[in-house]
Amino acid sequence: MEAVIANRPVEVNEQGYLLDMNQWDKEIARGIALEEDIELTDRHFEVLNYLRKEQENGTALSIRRIGKSGVVDIKEFYALFPEGPLKKASRIAGIPKPASCI
């Protein structure tokens, strides 16, 4: 289905995850983040870019893997993306919901 994020039409699934990673950019990320009540900083984008790179490499994402990445520890990850950090961060990063998220 189609949604309008940052004044642009994008294809999303029923949970609001982008269907095409190529439609993502910083403005789309900011628009999705606003829906999650998160104001993005440079630090958020460091984590989002890491998640996108891992997705492109076909790496299965999990909280544990992110905590061991050296990019962000688990405590900071929860602070940046409260209440379901991997689920929210993945949505904002424009990548599919990880299988480890319920």
Rounded Cα distance between 96 and 8, Å, is: 19
Rounded Cα distance between 58 and 76, Å, is: 24
Note whether 10 and 21 are within 8 A (CB): no
Catalytic residue status for 71: no
Q: Where are the beta strands (DSSP E) in 18-59?
A: none
**Which residue has 């990019």 as its token pair?**
71
Selecting among 28, 63, 71, 101, the annotated active-site residue is 101
Active site residues: 101
